[in-house]
């Protein structure tokens, strides 16, 4: 298995990619959901609503993994961030506004409508901050 250098990892993460966030349910079984994310070199940031099941899961057990994989037209490559997530009450809307044009074409009225809804519900948005205790990588 070929590991990536930090530079290769950071370059891989500059392209918009979905991450698969894996959390634990209260019964201990895993659940994974796709998320947008921002890698800052030492922390992964995501956003969610205060009413999302992610919030309750993280309050019960903050351990998580975020897996980011290659597109189908690329060689097999992935990065996995393992650690605990801290929920931040401030900054959710700002991150959503920052990531929306990266992941969506905002000329699409449906996408713009969702972004407008997030703005109206800004007080309910939270930052999920994962400071990795371990980063696993692979590329062929």
Over residues 4-11, the mean pLDDT reads 96
pTM to 2 decimal places: 0.94
Report which of 124, 59, 114 is spatially closest to residue 87, judged by C-alpha positions.
Answer: 59
**pLDDT at residue number 1:** 62
Q: pLDDT exceeding 90 applies to what percent of the chain? A: 98
Q: Is the pLDDT of residue 111 over 80?
A: yes
Domain-embedded: residue 1: no
User: Which residue range is the domain that position 130 belongs to?
Assistant: 6-139
Report which of 5, 9, 8, 13 is spatially closest to residue 45, judged by C-alpha positions.
Answer: 13
**pLDDT at residue number 125:** 98
Tokens standing for 21?
A: 């966030």
47 by Cβ neighbours in 10 Å (0-12 / 13-18 / 19+) ranks as buried
Q: In this structure, what CATH number is given to the domain that contains residue 45? A: 2.30.110.10
As a whole number of angstroms, the longest Cα–Cα distance in the chain is 47
pLDDT in tens, 35-94: 999 999 999 999 999 999 999 999 999 999 999 999 999 999 999 999 999 999 999 999
H helix runs in the chain, sequence order: 6-12, 53-60, 92-103, 109-120
User: Which residues is 121 bridged to in the sheet?
Assistant: none
Mean pLDDT of the chain: 96
E strand residue ranges, the chain: 19-24, 30-35, 38-39, 44-49, 63-69, 77-88, 125-139
**pLDDT at residue number 53:** 97
Q: Is the pLDDT of residue 113 over 90?
A: yes
Provide the number of structural domains found in the chain: 1
Rounded to an integer, what distance in angstroms lies between the CA atom of residue 32 and that of residue 100?
A: 21
């Amino acid at each position: 298995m070929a590991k990536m250098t930090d530079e290769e990892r950071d370059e891989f993460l500059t392209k918009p990619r979905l991450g698969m966030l894996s959390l634990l349910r209260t019964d201990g079984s895993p659940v994974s959901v796709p998320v947008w994310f921002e890698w800052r070199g030492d922390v992964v940031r995501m956003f969610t609503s205060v009413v999302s099941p992610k919030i309750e899961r993280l309050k019960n057990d903050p351990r998580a993994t975020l897996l980011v994989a290659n597109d189908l037209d690329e060689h097999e490559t992935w990065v996995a961030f393992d650690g605990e997530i801290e929920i931040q009450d401030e900054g959710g809307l700002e991150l959503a506004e920052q990531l929306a044009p990266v992941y969506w074409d905002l000329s699409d009225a449906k996408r713009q409508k969702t972004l407008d809804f997030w703005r109206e519900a800004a007080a309910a948005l939270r930052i999920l901050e994962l400071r990795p205790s371990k980063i696993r990588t692979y590329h062929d």
